[in-house]
Amino acid sequence: MQTINSTLTVAAIQYDIRWLDPQANFEQLTQLISEHFANHSAVDLLLLPETFTTGFCINRDDVQAPANGGQALAWLKNIAKQYNCVVAGSVLVSHNHKKVNRFYWAHANGQVDYYDKRHLFRLGNEQDHVEAGTARKIFTINGIKILPLVCYDLRFPVWSRNRQDYDLMVNVANWPAARRHIWDTLLKARAMENQSYVVGVNRVGTDGLNIAHSGGTSIIDFCGENLITAQDNQQQIIRAELDFSKLKQFKEKFPAFLDADDFSLAHCEQVSHHT
C-alpha cells in the first residue's frame, strides 16, 4: 500500500453559469477567484463545474468548440499561472465531427492534462453530439493521486472503482436539482466504497433549457462525512485541506480494499499522469 503523508488544499467553485456566454463566465469567475484569494491562502487544486464556459449546450452547433481548447484553455492556463495551482474544469471540444466533454487540468507551469467524459447522458441525447472518452486517467498533484470524473460518470461504480491507484476522486457536473438527492447520495457512496476523499462540484441557477440546478458542491472524507458543503442556490467557493495521512491510518485499521474483487474494464485504456 502506498505511503501517504502529505496534504492537499482543494477549492471548488459553485456558480451560476451564464448560458452560451464564455466571456461573461470568464469575467465572473475571474472576479470570484480574485475576491476569494484576497482573503484566503493558496490552494493546490481549484475546480470548476462541467461545461463552465457555456452551460450544458451539447446540441448547439453554433457554439464554438475549438479542438485546441481555445479561449477556455487559455483562460485556465492563465489562472493556474496567476495563482500557482492546478485549475480544472470541463468544456466542449471539437473531435471527429462531434465533440468531446473534456475535463482540462491546467498546471501553473503551462502543462495541460485532460480526461474525456466516458459516460454520456442518454436522457439528454449527449451521445448524439458527443463522443465518449476511452481512457480512465489518474492525475498526480504533489504526490497525491486523483481520479477525474465528469457528471454522469458518478452513476457507474465500476468505472470509478479504486484499485489502490488513487487517493482523491473529483467530479465536476451540471447535475439538475430534480435529481439532487442522487448526487448527494452517490458522492458519499463513492467515498465510502472506495475509501477515498471525494470532491463534487456542481453549478447553481437555471440554464438555457430551463433546467434548474441547486448546487450541492461538497468535499467529503473517506468515511462519507461532509467536511464542507456549499449553500444551496448560492454562488460560493468552498475549500478544505485534505490530510492523506489520516486516509492511510484509516485504511490500515480497516483494510476493506484487501477483499475487493478482481475485474478488468473492456475497451478502456488506463492512463496515469505524474506531475
Identify the active-site residue in 99, 151, 188, 251.
151
Which three three-digit cell numbers place residue 264? Answer: 478488468
Radius of gyration of the chain (CA): 17
The C-alpha atoms of residue 25 and residue 62 are separated, in whole angstroms, by 18
Catalytic site residue 57? Answer: no
Catalytic site residue 188? Answer: no
Which three three-digit cell numbers place residue 58? Answer: 451539447
Block residue for cell numbers 466542449: 92
Which three three-digit cell numbers place residue 38? Answer: 484576497
Selection from 95, 200, 93 nearest residue 150 by Cα: 200
Which three three-digit cell numbers place residue 263? Answer: 475485474
The C-alpha atoms of residue 251 and residue 72 are separated, in whole angstroms, by 39
Which three three-digit cell numbers place residue 95? Answer: 473531435
Please give the backbone phi and psi of residue 234, each rounded to the nearest 5 degrees, phi first: -125, 140
Catalytic site residue 117? Answer: yes
**First-last CA distance in the chain:** 20
Identify the active-site residue in 117, 137, 145, 188.
117
Identify the active-site residue in 50, 57, 99, 188.
50
**CB-based contacts of 67, cutoff 8 Å, min separation 6:** 93, 94, 95
**Do 110 and 77 contact (CB within 8 A), yes or no?**
yes
DSSP 78-122: HHHHHHTSEEEEEEEEEETTEEEEEEEEE-TTS-EEEEE--S--G
User: Any idea which residues carry the catalytic annotation?
Assistant: 50, 117, 151
